[in-house]
Amino acid sequence: MTQGHIVDSRLIASSQLDVLIADSKGSPVLSSEDKVDYLAYESVYAFGEIKSAYYKSSKPIEKFIAAIEKVNNQLQREKSSVFQITQDIKYSGNNFDDNMQTKDGWFYRNPLFKFMFFGDSKSVTIHDLYHIVKDHDPQNLPNIICFLDKGILVQANMEIDDTKTLNLSINENNDINWTPHTKITGVGLYPEFNVKYESEAYNWFLLEFDNKNASCLAYLIYALNYHLSRCIVLKADLMKYHQQLFHISSTDISHLNERDKQNLARAFLEKKKKMGEV
């Protein structure tokens, strides 16, 4: 876990992000001298933003959505098939099909998990939050937003709870108004997958707990652990990165060991950063 930028094999970089969670074994971390890390896109499990408080005028959620959109629209990485068993092993009995899914409802094995954390929610309301997220492409939305002192914003589906008595009232025109009790039947942590379930309507809900601070933090940790235990990121093709870094053919660096490659990559990334190219 670190902070910094995501970089794809064409050396296109994301905005700087507060938290990056990535696989450090399968892909290298390219670090500049000022301690800002550059991570290969293929290796990234999740990224997030951490704020001490939510200030509506600063538009922190809108800015984070823009950062997600940049990653999705400008950076490239291969989607790992639903038949991917490990980083190195893929079941080859079937061809990849966009309509196939895992038992968890995933349509590929390496979705990005995007999250936000606010220590103080200030005066934010569910209506404020809904108007922020309602018009955006689901793949560009955070999976979860944690307000430590208020609750967790996630997508979920609900149904009428017929075990409870309806709230009935009659207005001055003798019209009967009724308000059903509802219950959440499932949380959908992946907005980009939720839209593919036509039989289930997912909406944004603010889940509130009795013990807010501890429960909100525990829920966020649980969601991250759930993702990390099921996500399979692929290994970065380092040759593609090196060819972009040095503009040379694969045979030119075949004699270098892994440490040499990483040292050269760090030096070149720092040079490109100073030139404003990364």
Beta strands per DSSP E along 150-202:
151-160, 167-170, 176-179, 182-188
Q: Per mean pLDDT, which range of 104-118, 170-184, 198-212, 233-247 is the poorest?
A: 170-184
Q: Could you read off the pLDDT of 25-55 as tens digits, one per residue? A: 877 776 665 778 889 999 999 999 999 999 9
Q: In one letter, which amino acid is 43? A: S
Q: What percent of the chain has pLDDT over 70?
A: 73
Q: Could you read off the pLDDT of 185-240 as tens digits, one per residue? A: 788 899 988 876 655 678 898 998 888 889 999 999 999 999 999 999 999 888 88
Of 80 and 70, the one with more pLDDT = 70
Q: Count CB neighbours of 274 within 10 A.
A: 11
Please give the Cα distance from 146 to 120 (Å, whole number): 10
Look at the pTM and tell me if it is higher than 0.75: yes
Please give the Cα distance from 142 to 258 (Å, whole number): 35
Identify whether the C-beta of residue 203 lies closer than 8 Å to the C-beta of residue 157. Answer: yes
Angle 42-44-48 from CA coordinates, rounded to 5° = 150
